[in-house]
């Protein structure tokens, strides 16, 4: 049976299910009658996979889409697992959602299924940032949490992420065990959909207040903020959940001139003013930068729809603005925090980053005598290290190149609300020194080396795209190139097989990492190229890392141009493979 036939058979099975509502039956019937069955195939060729983080997919009717039934089956499986773990003990779950279309609906579906399984639900009254869900799980002493979000994916997507009682995204063994329970729900007629509203409670303002208090107490040198409270700052939520907390957090820190991009302040799952609600994309920050130029603002910040990522724009000494990438922003943040710690805090503390994030972080940490742990991509791995080291070493700060940062462990996931607070504080303190954050960044490069990184995203949608990504990773893994763009490959690190291969000697050695579909190539000119399929979007990612020496700030443009040319050279090669 080919994929198209399989999809048609699965669609007929859904159509015949008595638990399916009339509107969905009508939509499936129309899909079955279409002469071109590609839409039907994409919707039904497989079940929407509940991965190690949860669900993510295009919204619509179909086994491979986000809808009432797939969300219900995922939640029923989660409830079944929670009951296995906790037996007859009382179980509590926190639920949040972002501004995406249907997010509130999916949150209410999730709450209803949990309540129907006799699980006590704590539901936010309106949209909230994802990090606030992580905080609420621990603050309300819940056994689990769910947030409805597809982060910065296109508008047609939504998702479902599960958190455990420590406020972190699920990891082994819970992830695989939950997946087994979800997969066991092979018919949405098995889902208990409508629970008692008496078990569903609204999370009050007290939780927000407790979060703000945790952030504010961690900001160093508050007297400087008080002195420069009127420093102009521009912030945009890009139609997302950030509007509910970022402005208020900055206000509680003492900043009095936080200017919002009004056109983007209203939550809207269609994201009408941007091509993509992703602060990693320069186009998403155009309106904020325009406002910043008019106000001569020192700092520009933009958060994604669920407010776990933040993009940063800085005014340079010449009055022009520059957008930082995630590696640059994290480097500034880590340096600022480590620089302001006591010697004892540095000795007992540690930081963390992902393997595809700039090695400038490792260099800064070594300079201050602070341990730096590298993890696989994803904050759930960073949270695992925090859990493993708890009571032995003190967590300080963590981050990844994709604009995610976390300061302190009161939230166990990337947190753009607290990150905005720290970048605002940094801007004020730099201003007090007669500098800009851009000056600070160049100073870092002079002191520690000019590290530059490039990222290529190649989109691969649908069943065909998924097959192409698998084939490419298999080819690179089984037949690694002897050279890339004319430069000899020295080493290959394969995190899927857990092996490192020395291509010059053929020697193999084990990697002490969890298994993940990531490849890293080290070249003779010092370049590192990492390849991985995205875990959250239909794309394959290439990370390029190069390094040069910067003797003084005046040479920055010249040295930077050389490194940018190297990145462009490798980008051209990678786009062709």
Give the pLDDT confidence of 485-517 residue by residue, as tens digits. 999 999 999 999 999 999 999 999 999 888 899
> Given this model, what pLDDT does residue 1 score?
66
Whether the Cβ atoms of residue 415 and residue 215 lie closer than 8 Å to each other: no
What digits encode the pLDDT tens for the residues 176-191?
Answer: 999 999 999 999 999 9
Query: Could you tell me the two tokens for 372?
Result: 């730096």
Lowest mean pLDDT among 65-74, 76-85, 308-317, 509-518: 509-518
Per-residue pLDDT, averaged over 160-185, amounts to: 95
> Given this model, what pLDDT does residue 102 score?
98
- Annotated catalytic sites, by residue? 151
Above 80 in pLDDT, residue 460?
Answer: no
Above 80 in pLDDT, residue 158?
Answer: yes
Neighbours of 194 (CB within 10 A): 11
Per-residue pLDDT, averaged over 139-156, amounts to: 96
> Given this model, what pLDDT does residue 126 score?
98
Per-residue pLDDT, averaged over 56-64, amounts to: 96
Q: 46: which residues sit within 8 A by CB, 6+ positions away?
A: 63, 64, 463
3-state secondary structure 322-361: EECCHHHHHHHHHHHHHHCCCHHHHHHEEEEEECCCCCHH
CA dist 36 and 19 (Å) reads 28
Above 80 in pLDDT, residue 526?
Answer: yes
First to last CA, the chain: 32
Above 90 in pLDDT, residue 37?
Answer: no
What digits encode the pLDDT tens for the residues 266-285?
Answer: 999 999 999 999 999 999 99
Burial of 145: CB neighbours in 10 Å, binned 0-12, 13-18, 19+: buried
For 404, list phi and psi in degrees, rounded to 5.
-110, 130
Query: Could you tell me the two tokens for 378?
Result: 């994803």
Average confidence score pLDDT of the chain: 95
Per-residue pLDDT, averaged over 122-142, amounts to: 98
> Given this model, what pLDDT does residue 347 score?
95
Lowest mean pLDDT among 150-154, 156-160, 197-201, 257-261: 150-154
pTM: 0.92
Q: pLDDT category, 539, cuts 50, 70, 90? A: confident
CA atoms within 13 A on the CB side of 231: 26
> Given this model, what pLDDT does residue 461 score?
75
Sorted by where each starts, the structural domains of the chain and their CATH numbers stand as: 1-39 (no CATH), 46-203 (3.40.120.10), 225-235+250-259+279-448 (3.40.120.10), 451-576 (3.30.310)
CA angle centred on 150, ends 412 and 124, rounded to 5°: 60
Tell me which DSSP letter residue 427 carries: H
């Amino acid at each position: 049976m080919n994929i198209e036939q399989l999809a048609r058979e699965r669609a007929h099975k859904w159509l015949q299910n008595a638990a399916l509502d009339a509107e969905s039956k009508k939509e499936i019937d129309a899909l079955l009658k279409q002469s071109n069955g590609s839409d039907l195939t994409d919707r039904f060729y497989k079940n929407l996979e509940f991965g190690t983080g949860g669900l993510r997919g295009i919204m619509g009717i179909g086994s491979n889409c986000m809808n009432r039934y797939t969300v219900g089956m995922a939640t029923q499986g989660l409830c079944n697992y929670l009951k296995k773990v906790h037996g007859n003990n009382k179980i509590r779950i926190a639920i949040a959602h972002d501004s995406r279309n249907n997010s509130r609906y999916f949150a209410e579906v999730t709450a209803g299924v949990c309540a129907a399984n006799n699980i006590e639900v704590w539901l936010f009254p309106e949209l909230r940032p994802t990090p606030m869900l992580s905080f609420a799980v621990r603050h309300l002493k819940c056994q689990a949490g769910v947030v409805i979000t597809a982060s910065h994916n296109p508008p047609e997507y939504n998702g479902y992420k599960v958190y455990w009682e420590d406020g972190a995204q699920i990891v082994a063994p819970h992830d695989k065990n939950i997946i087994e329970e979800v997969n066991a729900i092979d018919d949405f007629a098995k889902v208990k959909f409508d629970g008692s509203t008496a078990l569903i409670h609204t999370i009050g303002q007290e939780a927000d207040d407790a979060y703000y208090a945790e952030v504010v107490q961690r900001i160093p040198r508050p007297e400087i903020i008080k002195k420069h409270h009127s420093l102009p700052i521009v912030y945009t939520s890009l139609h997302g959940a950030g509007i509910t907390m970022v402005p208020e957090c900055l206000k509680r820190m003492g900043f009095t001139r936080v200017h919002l991009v009004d056109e983007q302040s209203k939550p809207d799952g269609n994201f009408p003013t941007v091509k993509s609600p992703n602060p990693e994309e320069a186009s998403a920050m155009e309106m904020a930068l325009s406002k910043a130029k008019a106000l001569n603002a020192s700092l520009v910040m933009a958060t994604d729809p669920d407010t776990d990522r933040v993009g940063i724009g800085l005014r340079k000494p010449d009055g022009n603005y520059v957008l930082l990438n995630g590696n640059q922003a994290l480097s500034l943040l880590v340096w600022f925090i480590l620089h302001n710690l006591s010697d004892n805090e540095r000795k007992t503390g540690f930081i963390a980053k992902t393997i595809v994030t700039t090695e400038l972080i490792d260099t800064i940490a070594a300079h201050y005598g602070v341990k730096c742990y590298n993890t696989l991509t994803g904050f759930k791995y960073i949270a695992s290290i925090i859990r493993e080291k708890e009571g032995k070493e003190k967590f300080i700060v963590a981050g990844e190149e994709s604009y995610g940062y976390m300061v302190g462990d009161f939230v166990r996931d990337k947190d753009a609300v607290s990150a905005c607070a720290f970048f605002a504080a940094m801007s004020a303190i730099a201003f007090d020194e007669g500098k800009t954050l851009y000056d600070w960044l160049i100073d870092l490069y002079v002191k520690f080396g000019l590290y530059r990184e490039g990222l290529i995203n190649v989109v691969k949608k649908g069943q065909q795209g998924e097959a192409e990504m698998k084939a490419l990773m298999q080819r690179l893994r089984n037949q690694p190139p002897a050279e890339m763009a004319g430069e000899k490959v020295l080493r290959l690190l394969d995190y899927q097989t857990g092996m490192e291969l020395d291509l010059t000697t053929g020697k193999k050695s084990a990697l002490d990492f969890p298994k993940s579909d990531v490849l890293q190539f080290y070249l003779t000119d010092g370049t590192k190229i990492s390849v991985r399929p995205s875990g959250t979007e239909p794309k394959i990612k290439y990370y390029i890392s190069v390094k040069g020496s910067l003797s003084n700030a005046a040479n920055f443009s010249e040295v930077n141009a050389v490194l940018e040319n190297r990145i462009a050279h490798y980008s051209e090669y990678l786009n062709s493979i």
